[in-house]
Chains A and B, each alone.
Chain A
Amino acid sequence: MAATYCLGRAFTALAALLLLSFGSFAASQIEDQAEQFFRSGHTNNWAVLVCTSRFWFNYRHVANTLSVYRSVKRLGIPDRNVESKIDNDMACNPRNPKPATVFSHKNMELDVYGDDVEVDYRSYEVTVENFLRVLTGRIPPSTPRSKCLLSDDRSSILIYMTGHGGNGFLKFQDSEEITNIELADAFEQMWQKRRYNELLFIIDTCQGASMYERFYSPNIMALASSQVGEDSLSHQPDPAIGVHLMDRYTFYVLEFLEEINPASQTNMNDLFQVCPKSLCVSTPGHRTDLFQRDPKNVLITDFFGSIRKVEITTETISLQQHSEMESSFKDDQMDEELMEPLKYAEQLPVAQMIHQKPKPKDWHPPGGFILGLWALIIMVFFKTYGIKHMKFIF
């Protein structure tokens, strides 16, 4: 009796245990579902990297942009999804002691230019108008695909800008500026046209926080290297190259990103802490009020990495050797159409050139002024001498 009672108790305990485990399992499933709801849900990644400075002494801005380009490529975003706007006259500048290289660290440790770089907008094409056109998609119809931002409403876009800036504006190539209001309006246009799902905006200039003050579109997270009234400082000069190689904020961001791999789970909160005042001298700022998700749930690779569609297949394809030579006779015989032999043109036919006449220009009918003048002359003639003279003409 006691045994059955114990057994019964054991049974109920077991049942209770099972029920508890089921309950917790169900709860964790619901938690997972809730977790899924807070994941990004983007299907492709884009990056727009802008360096707004020209001239050799702004080497560090180009190095900033190239180091972000390098990280973004390393973490998986393909070249066709990266729009880079760089005045690229640093690497092959005659003043560069090591041509075709751009270094980020003194002692030339890390070459951020590399061997496989593609810059979409170079030199004089880096203008405010081109930048806004790329963002909003209002590009002329003959623009090649590599120069367009073909994002959709499931895209996560990273926008990185660096250069010289002030309170409320950013200087482009020493000749024009973009204001924070224009930038905010461009992002609103992007939102209205459903050109992004989430947007991360990073800016490394003096008084960078002023550039994100005016944003009002949803799903934008912004980081800046300094607050209003503060200057962003450069990191260190290299005695061989002779200029400062990188800005402090981007230098520490690059150090942080070098430790990220495509599978890492680091989140945005770590990026916010990447450069404390002791290292950066300026106070980096960030703005997350427009962003729906909590930054601690946002992975770095959501913006810096890329979603890749991978299809695993088990069928095998065998590569064949190309069969050559035998078909050449068949081709010759099959081709009946061109009967007369073709010939190469003479490169400098002196006799022909001397005797050629310049091409007559296309005849255009006389314009309005000439017509009007002749009409006036004829009218005056007939008025003076009388209309009866017309019968001698016709």
Chain B
Amino acid sequence: MAAALPLALVVLLLLGPGGPALAEPPRDSLREELVITPLPSGDVAATFQFRTRWDSELQREGVSHYRLFPKALGQLISKYSLRELHLSFTQGFWRTRYWGPPFLQAPSGAELWVWFQDTVTDVDKSWKELSNVLSGIFCASLNFIDSTNTVTPTASFKPLGVANDTDHYFLRYAVLPREVVCTENLTPWKKLLPCSSKAGLSVLLKADRLFHTSYHSQAVHIRPVCRNARCTSISWELRQTLSVVFDAFVTGQGKKDWSLFRMFSRTLTEPCPLASESRVYVDITNYSQDNETLEVNPPPTTTYQDVILGTRRTYAVYDLLDTALINNSRNLNLQLKWKKPPENGYIHYQPAQDRLQPHLLEMLIQLPANSVTKVSIQFERALLKWTEYTPDPNHGFYVSPSVLSALVPSLVAAKPVDWEGSPLFNTLFPVSDGSSYFVRLYTEPLLVNLPTPDFSMPYNVICLTCTVVAVCYGSFYNLLTRTFHIEEPSKGGLAKRLANLIRRARGVPPL
């Protein structure tokens, strides 16, 4: 009895702290971000990122309560013992030359790569079943993934999450380039979000605007991450990203003013109530407020600086959870306006008229430093009349050289002193100030090879035709129209009698 009491107390103490912790479900949190990047070519790229982080270890605890983390994916992780899953659907190609480097690029079509846990015995079987299940979830033809388009990379595609050992036997990678991405892939992707498309940044996800773009890529990334700084336990992170590039000419009708309403036909009204962070970032690295080339409206209250992809970038931050932001106007419609268009210039073009006047193209351009500017013109070669050819047409025809007149900044300022008297060539081009000098340069003339006809052909044709006519037609004509009749020989005329007289005188027999 006396021993039982402390035993009971000990038991109670052991059970005490365990009780309430077991009853509470694992914590999960949602962070949503939208990054708007104006691109050098006048287009604008928008990248959404939704991160759902779940502090649970699915393998060990038998989980049945899902809150923010979608149940469809949670069940996939536990059933197929996944360590990581990366699935992307892309339409279009990221043009690095015009748009700069991408945050996260994906191949055209569908790409799926998965790391399985090392407890999986038949990886190929799990891989096949997993691709079938995913094809049902995302309405895509991922069931066409089989051994003919699956590889096991040995050096790349290391796990992006926490991993202590990496035996590439448990990695599988497949790409379906023929896969078409459309609204039916976006719909289940949106349904995985905690706020679906009802609140927060996901109200901007309207299919008819998102697919009217030059590049559309949506992806799902599931990986384990460190739960805390010491990294003694893991959490599962579901990252859903969507990148689109709006084309200035196709979507924007040539104007380079962008706003959330023009891009998505929606504005932001409230953050997702389930999100712990809900922010919009606008890339203002190249355009600061002093320079006044890009104006961002409403003006941002905070900025954020970081080194992204190797360069230091500045972002204007709009926090939707900040009530002051939305209070005034009930909605947030970010506007980006270029105050001064990046290229200002003058262009004059006078097209040519055949046999009347030549082409004339004049352009005033501002060359940026350390850059190469290429100007190219397409032209067509026309056939000349045969009398217009010069006697030596195979030499080619010349196009006059182009003229470049430039005002080049001087390294050393010149003093305008006594122009008429100075030697050398300074006095030819009058300048107003010495900070730049005027120069006129010329390019090489262009020699164009026009298609040249064979000039001996008319002679050949005439000879041949005349021969044919004379031989064939002539013969038939003669046969048909000529008649033959016998002719009596003539007795002889005066000349013959005279000749006979002379022959008798000579003693030669007569004719």
* Interface set of A (CB-CB < 8 Å, partner B): 88-89, 91-92, 98-101, 111, 113-120, 122-125, 142-147, 322, 324, 327-328, 330-332, 334-335, 338-339, 341-349, 353, 356, 358-359
Q: Which residues of the partner chain A approach B155 to less than 8 Å between Cβ atoms? A: 353, 356
Bound-state CA distance A353–B24 (Å) is: 45
With A331-B21, A332-B228 as known contacts, state yes or no: A92 contacts B91, CB within 8 Å: yes
Question: Closest approach, in angstroms, between the C-beta of B165 and any C-beta of chain A?
Answer: 9
28 CB contacts below 8 A, A to B, read A92-B211, A99-B212, A100-B182, A100-B212, A113-B183, A114-B183, A115-B207, A117-B183, A117-B184, A122-B140, A122-B141, A123-B141, A142-B132, A142-B133, A144-B133, A144-B137, A146-B139, A327-B21, A331-B55, A341-B231, A342-B162, A342-B231, A343-B164, A344-B159, A345-B158, A345-B163, A348-B158, A353-B155
Question: Closest approach, in angstroms, between the C-beta of A354 and any C-beta of chain B?
Answer: 9
Question: Closest approach, in angstroms, between the C-beta of B376 and any C-beta of chain A?
Answer: 26
B265-279 residues at the A interface, CB under 8 angstroms:
none
Asked if B156 is at the interface (CB within 8 A of a chain A CB), the reply is yes
Bound-state CA distance A81–B80 (Å) is: 26
The residue that B166 contacts in the complex, of A332, A335, A345, with Cβ under 8 A, is A345
Question: Closest approach, in angstroms, between the C-beta of A95 and any C-beta of chain B?
Answer: 13
Contact B232 A115 (CB under 8 A): no
Q: Which residues of the partner chain B approach A88 to less than 8 Å between Cβ atoms? A: 180, 182, 184
Extra A-B contacts (7), CB below 8 Å, given A144-B133, A347-B158: A98-B208, A99-B212, A118-B187, A147-B136, A338-B232, A338-B233, A341-B230
The residue that A342 contacts in the complex, of B137, B212, B234, with Cβ under 8 A, is B234
Asked if B148 is at the interface (CB within 8 A of a chain A CB), the reply is no
* Interface set of B (CB-CB < 8 Å, partner A): 17-18, 21, 24, 27, 55, 67, 91, 128-129, 132-133, 135-137, 139-141, 143-144, 154-156, 158-164, 166, 178, 180-184, 187-188, 206-208, 210-212, 226, 228, 230-234
Binding site of B, secondary structure by majority: helix, strand, loop or mixed? loop
Contact B206 A89 (CB under 8 A): no
With A92-B91, A92-B182, A358-B154 as known contacts, state yes or no: A146 contacts B228, CB within 8 Å: no
Bound-state CA distance A144–B208 (Å) is: 28
Question: Closest approach, in angstroms, between the C-beta of B401 and any C-beta of chain A?
Answer: 41
Q: Which residues of the partner chain A approach B161 to less than 8 Å between Cβ atoms? A: 344
Bound-state CA distance A108–B180 (Å) is: 23
Contact B211 A99 (CB under 8 A): yes
Q: Which residues of the partner chain A approach B136 to less than 8 Å between Cβ atoms? A: 120, 143-147
Question: Closest approach, in angstroms, between the C-beta of A55 and any C-beta of chain B?
Answer: 13
Residue of A nearest to B180 (CB): A89
Binding site of A, secondary structure by majority: helix, strand, loop or mixed? loop
Contact B184 A118 (CB under 8 A): yes
Contact B139 A344 (CB under 8 A): no
Contact B21 A345 (CB under 8 A): no
Residue of A nearest to B228 (CB): A332
Bound-state CA distance A302–B502 (Å) is: 138
Q: Which residues of the partner chain A approach B141 to less than 8 Å between Cβ atoms? A: 122-125
Contact A144 B135 (CB under 8 A): yes
Q: Which residues of the partner chain B approach A122 to less than 8 Å between Cβ atoms? A: 139-141, 180, 184
With A100-B208, A119-B184 as known contacts, state yes or no: A339 contacts B91, CB within 8 Å: no
Question: Closest approach, in angstroms, between the C-beta of B266 and any C-beta of chain A?
Answer: 12
Question: Closest approach, in angstroms, between the C-beta of A241 and any C-beta of chain B?
Answer: 15
Q: Which residues of the partner chain B approach A353 to less than 8 Å between Cβ atoms? A: 155
Contact A99 B154 (CB under 8 A): no
Q: Which residues of the partner chain A approach B230 to less than 8 Å between Cβ atoms? A: 341
Bound-state CA distance A120–B143 (Å) is: 12
Q: Which residues of the partner chain A approach B162 to less than 8 Å between Cβ atoms? A: 342-344
Residue of B nearest to A113 (CB): B183
Contact B133 A118 (CB under 8 A): no
Residue of B nearest to A342 (CB): B162
Contact A119 B143 (CB under 8 A): no
Bound-state CA distance A92–B188 (Å) is: 17
Bound-state CA distance A359–B155 (Å) is: 12
Question: Closest approach, in angstroms, between the C-beta of A291 and any C-beta of chain B?
Answer: 33
Residue of B nearest to A328 (CB): B27
Q: Which residues of the partner chain B approach A91 to less than 8 Å between Cβ atoms? A: 182-183, 211
Residue of B nearest to A125 (CB): B141
Bound-state CA distance A334–B156 (Å) is: 37
Question: Closest approach, in angstroms, between the C-beta of B188 and any C-beta of chain A?
Answer: 7
Contact A345 B183 (CB under 8 A): no
With A122-B180, A331-B21, A331-B55 as known contacts, state yes or no: A117 contacts B211, CB within 8 Å: no
Bound-state CA distance A88–B183 (Å) is: 10
Q: Which residues of the partner chain B approach A124 to less than 8 Å between Cβ atoms? A: 141, 144, 178
Bound-state CA distance A213–B181 (Å) is: 39
Contact B183 A142 (CB under 8 A): no
Bound-state CA distance A117–B178 (Å) is: 21
Bound-state CA distance A345–B234 (Å) is: 14
Q: Which residues of the partner chain A approach B128 to less than 8 Å between Cβ atoms? A: 142
Interface centre among A125, A324, A331 (most CB of B within 10 A): A331
Contact B140 A345 (CB under 8 A): no
The residue that A330 contacts in the complex, of B21, B140, B144, B159, with Cβ under 8 A, is B21
Bound-state CA distance A180–B208 (Å) is: 39
Bound-state CA distance A88–B211 (Å) is: 14
Bound-state CA distance A327–B21 (Å) is: 8
Bound-state CA distance A82–B470 (Å) is: 85
Contact A142 B158 (CB under 8 A): no
Contact A117 B180 (CB under 8 A): no
Bound-state CA distance A124–B140 (Å) is: 11
Q: 9 closest A-B pairs (Cβ-Cβ)?
A: A144-B136, A92-B182, A100-B211, A99-B211, A342-B162, A142-B132, A341-B231, A345-B163, A100-B207
Bound-state CA distance A111–B206 (Å) is: 14
Residue of B nearest to A144 (CB): B136
Bound-state CA distance A287–B187 (Å) is: 38
Bound-state CA distance A111–B184 (Å) is: 15
Question: Closest approach, in angstroms, between the C-beta of A165 and any C-beta of chain B?
Answer: 25
With A91-B182, A92-B211, A117-B183 as known contacts, state yes or no: A125 contacts B143, CB within 8 Å: yes
Q: Which residues of the partner chain B approach A358 to less than 8 Å between Cβ atoms? A: 154
Contact A359 B21 (CB under 8 A): no
Bound-state CA distance A44–B161 (Å) is: 45
Q: Which residues of the partner chain B approach A343 to less than 8 Å between Cβ atoms? A: 162-164, 231
Bound-state CA distance A146–B18 (Å) is: 41
Q: Which residues of the partner chain B approach A330 to less than 8 Å between Cβ atoms? A: 17, 21
Residue of A nearest to B159 (CB): A345
Q: Which residues of the partner chain A approach B212 to less than 8 Å between Cβ atoms? A: 98-100
Q: Which residues of the partner chain B approach A92 to less than 8 Å between Cβ atoms? A: 91, 180-183, 211
Q: Which residues of the partner chain A approach B27 to less than 8 Å between Cβ atoms? A: 324, 327-328, 331
Q: Which residues of the partner chain B approach A143 to less than 8 Å between Cβ atoms? A: 132, 136, 143
Question: Closest approach, in angstroms, between the C-beta of A321 and any C-beta of chain B?
Answer: 10
Q: Which residues of the partner chain A approach B137 to less than 8 Å between Cβ atoms? A: 144, 146
Bound-state CA distance A335–B129 (Å) is: 33
Question: Closest approach, in angstroms, between the C-beta of B250 and any C-beta of chain A?
Answer: 10
The residue that B208 contacts in the complex, of A101, A147, A339, with Cβ under 8 A, is A101
The residue that B210 contacts in the complex, of A100, A118, A332, A342, with Cβ under 8 A, is A100
Q: Which residues of the partner chain A approach B163 to less than 8 Å between Cβ atoms? A: 342-345
Question: Closest approach, in angstroms, between the C-beta of A173 and any C-beta of chain B?
Answer: 14
Bound-state CA distance A344–B182 (Å) is: 35
Q: Which residues of the partner chain B approach A144 to less than 8 Å between Cβ atoms? A: 132-133, 135-137
Residue of B nearest to A146 (CB): B136
Residue of A nearest to B140 (CB): A122
Q: Which residues of the partner chain B approach A120 to less than 8 Å between Cβ atoms? A: 136, 139
Bound-state CA distance A100–B210 (Å) is: 9
Question: Closest approach, in angstroms, between the C-beta of B389 and any C-beta of chain A?
Answer: 45
Bound-state CA distance A38–B375 (Å) is: 80
Bound-state CA distance A142–B181 (Å) is: 23
Question: Closest approach, in angstroms, between the C-beta of A54 and any C-beta of chain B?
Answer: 12
Bound-state CA distance A123–B181 (Å) is: 11
Bound-state CA distance A343–B163 (Å) is: 6
